[in-house]
Amino acid sequence: TPKSSETVVDGCKTSPGNSGSVGPGGSKRALACMRLFEFVPASVAESEPQQNSRSIYRSAYLHIRLRQMDPQGEEQQDREDLDDDEVVIRPESDVILETGSKGPYDYDLIVIGGGSAGLACAKEAVACGARVVCLDYVKPTPLGTKWGVGGTCVNVGCIPKKLMHQASLLGEAVHEAAAYGWNVNEKIKPDWNKLVSSVQNHIKSVNWVTRVDLRDKKVEYINGLGSFLDPHTMTIKMKSGDRKITSQTFVIAVGGRPRYPDIPGAVEYGITSDDLFSLNREPGKTLVVGAGYIGLECAGFLKGLGYEPTVMVRSIVLRGFDQQMAGLVADSMEERGIPFLYQYVPLSVEKLSSGKLLVKYEHSQSGEVRSDTFDTVLWAIGRKGLVDDLNLANAGVHTFKDKIQVDSYEATNVPNIYAVGDIIYGKPELTPVAVLAGRLLARRLYGESTQRMDYTDVATTVFTPLEYACVGLSEEDAVKEFGADEIEVFHGYYKPTEFFIPQKSVRHCYLKAVAERHGEQRVYGLHYLGPVAGEVIQGFAAALKSGLTIKTLMNTVGIHPTTAEEFTRLNITKRSGLDPTPASCCS
């Protein structure tokens, strides 16, 4: 039974000390103390009203410690290496808690991986009363790029990607502004180094807030590489030496890293998305090898920033996505001047005396060999699960294609070992999926919940210059599952009002609803190509999950003039053969 000062969330106890706000006087004093030192990241200072005074004092204290150890304010990973990671600071008194727990094991739970899945799981498990340690370690890329706690999303994934996409959209917006009457006299050009430093500063502040949050929530965190000795024992490689720890339960949340092709010069001269967002030189003319969402997004923002990307496609664009939509995405990028080399594979990368990279590549069917020079070669050919360092054989955990197969409870074949996030086989590799799965797993393990993760109907967005978002089934998957005769596809092109004045191309602004043909016409999938796609689809995702039908969609009154309202105006089926191009924006 929770004490009166505790609240219960899904079977887990939280106390006000973990999240609540405390008296304004305390906060003011703590803030004043922090301002004295003038080093508190803006993001922390801004959150003053939400922070309790103890946590602000502690944040200040921790930051002083980090600064004392690292007066130059060097890289986050350096701070982590220097930090005393085997301890957790007790909120009340800054006393170091001793490790070791009741029972035969040091911990109830060891979470391996401090990314989206691992952090969510570790924090929730602690809130449910478990004694938890979370390990995180990032091996530098061949170029030497490394980063702090938080995993792929924060450091080399969603966040820097979205920021660079935004930078690119802003460039486009400035050009459009002239058509709208703004006096944009100078030819604008991007400053890559400024962009990189702004993005990296934001990431560092997120790393810092993440660590403070872990301490606030009493999650012990170790900056070390974990590998199994047996199903209950793990060795952690740290800067200070190896440490052996035991636990009743393990959650593997190690995620993945980009693959390199096995061709000469790939590792020496190529980079991946792990390097791009902190690259200390302009990318210039860039060969993006791979046409998955990461490759297309990188090519898209590089073009928007004024560089010259070319996309090399081995087989198809956006594998796993609706292929009609994928084709439109690629066409819209080509229309913006991004060349696509279809059916080509790279053979070698060589560095010329000029510093340029000579890439030889081959047509996969005709065998024709071509070459071209680039400033940057970006490998975006897929990601590999980080199973190798874990020594999973010592624990008896089976792997499958560099991933771990789990059942619907995220359990591996070893009873006390679970896996969540990108490391699990066959599930969407997305941050919100990792977060929710990690949180639900912790609630099932240590709370009173029995709720399992639902991996179906997960909405997602491809942040290409013209964005693509979808939820539910692709047209081909719906046909595969129900048969072509049982599927009705409602579709239409549309003209965003804001595109008219700057005369932006509306050729690829298209959307469709894949639905049941008969009966209540349940909607199986929604697909949208156009501006702010993620914002458009998010709400429709909730509707689809709640059993949306075509009738409901058509009876929904739109918000005019928006692009999201186009879903409420869909009335032409593919089967009818009628022209889905509208006469005007408001017909």
Q: State the residues that interact with ligand FAD by CB under 6 A.
A: 112-118, 135-138, 151-153, 156-158, 161, 225-226, 253-255, 273, 294, 386, 389-390, 421-423, 429-432, 434
Q: Which of 474, 584, 471, 464 is nearest to 531 (CA)?
A: 464
- Write out the two tokens for 525: 């999938």
Alpha carbons 167 and 130: distance in angstroms, whole number: 42
3-state helix, strand, coil in the chain (%, to 5): 35, 25, 40
CA 356 to chain centre: 31
Closest CA relative to residue 192, chosen from 168, 169, 174: 168
Give CA–CA dist 547/2, Å, rounded: 37
232 is catalytic: no
Nearest in space to 312 (alpha carbons), one of 256, 257, 255, 266: 266
Query: For residues 226 and 261, which CB has a smaller minimum distance to ligand FAD in the complex?
Result: 226
We find the least distance from the C-beta atom of residue 389 to ligand FAD, in angstroms, to be 4
Query: Side-chain half-sphere of 132: how many Cα atoms within 13 Å?
Result: 30
Q: How far is the CB of 116 from ligand FAD (least distance, A)?
A: 4
Task: Please tell me the distance from the alpha carbon of residue 513 to that of residue 473, in angstroms, as a whole number.
Answer: 10
Q: Give 487's DSSP letter.
A: E
Looking at beta carbons only, is 295 or 447 nearer to ligand FAD? 295
Smallest separation (angstroms) from ligand FAD to the CB of 236: 8
Reading the block at residue 373, the tokens are 């020079």
Q: Which residue has the tokens 């990601």?
A: 383
Residue 336 CA to residue 19 CA, distance in Å, equals: 47
Annotated catalytic residue: which of 202, 232, 527, 560? 560
Q: Which is nearer to ligand FAD, 18 or 431 (CB)?
A: 431
Nearest 5°: phi and psi at 227?
-145, 145
Shortest Å distance, C-beta 340 to ligand FAD: 19
Taking the least distance from each CB to ligand FAD, the nearer of 52 and 152 is 152
| 3-state class (DSSP) for residue 421 | helix
Whether residue 279 contacts residue 196, with contact meaning beta carbons closer than 8 Å, is answered with yes
**Cβ proximity to ligand FAD, 301 vs 490, nearer residue:** 301
Shortest Å distance, C-beta 458 to ligand FAD: 9
Counting every residue, how long is the chain? 587
* Residue 39: CB minimum distance to ligand FAD, A: 25
Query: For residues 116 and 141, which CB has a smaller minimum distance to ligand FAD in the complex?
Result: 116
Closest to ligand FAD by CB, 473 or 533 = 533
How near is the Cβ of 533 to ligand FAD at its closest, in Å?
Answer: 11
> Could you tell me the smallest distance in angstroms from the CB atom of residue 246 to ligand FAD?
16
**Smallest separation, CB 489 to ligand FAD (Å):** 26
Work out the number of other CB atoms within 10 angstroms of the CB of residue 182: 11
- Output 84 or 388, the one with its CB closest to ligand FAD: 388
List, in order, residues 6 or more apart from 341 with CB less than 8 Å away: 310, 311, 312, 313, 361
Least Å from the CB of residue 416 to ligand FAD: 17
Residue number with CB closer to ligand FAD (422 or 475): 422
Q: How far is CA 344 from the centre of its chain?
A: 28
Residue 15 makes CB contacts below 8 A (sequence gap 6+) with 3, 5, 6
Tokens of 1: 């039974």
Angle, CA 107 vertex, CA 105 and CA 110 arms, to 5°: 120
Element (H or E) spanning 436, and its range? helix 431-446
Q: Strands, DSSP E only, in 239-368?
A: 241-252, 256-258, 271-272, 285-289, 308-313, 340-342, 344-351, 357-363
Closer to ligand FAD by CB, 109 or 253: give it: 253
Rounded CA separation 259/371 (Å): 22
Catalytic residues: 560
